Amino acid sequence: MNTLDAVALLGAHTVGVGSCDLFQDRLVNFNGTGLPDPSMDSDLVANLTTICEASENPSTGLDRSTPLTFDNAFFGQIRVRRGVLQLDQRLATDEATSSVVAQYAADNNLFKRQFAIAMVKMGAVDVFTGEDGEIRTNCWAFNNN
């Protein structure tokens, strides 16, 4: 696995959904400042704030332009400061990944090809089971043994 693979795999966020508790701090109290994350587009902050205040268990698509389509639009969004998750936004600004983000944003076919390659590589990674590890029932929590 390399940088191209890691960025491509994070591109799966193009069809991902995040609950507001995952990014709420970016909207109102980033790093304890009492202000929104300055790396986030102000219109996105306003939109997400409305969504997050609207219901009891709110969530939103991580790709705000084509949330139900597996495409490269996610990369275009993070290039213009519209990344919902801080991790996603950093992909567009980090020296090690910004050029890859630009390539994927410009070429949907390149993104899809590299995503397929990265998925095959990830599938070849050894999985720890038994005493060495576990396959989680839910990705967000350890299994109760």
> Which amino acids are annotated as binding site for heme b, given as ranges?
13
**Which residue ranges are tagged as binding site?**
13-14, 63, 66, 71
What long-range pairs does 108-117 form, CB within 8 A, spacing at least 24?
108/71, 108/72, 111/8, 111/11, 111/71, 111/72, 111/75, 112/70, 112/72, 114/4, 114/5, 114/8, 115/8, 115/9, 115/11, 115/12, 117/5, 117/8
- 26-54: b or e for each residue (b if 16 or more CB lie within 10 Å)? bbeebeeeeebbeebbeebbeebeeebee
CB 17 within 8 A of CB 48: no
Tell me the two tokens of residue 37: 């994350």
**Which residue ranges are tagged as binding site for Ca(2+)?**
14, 63, 66, 71
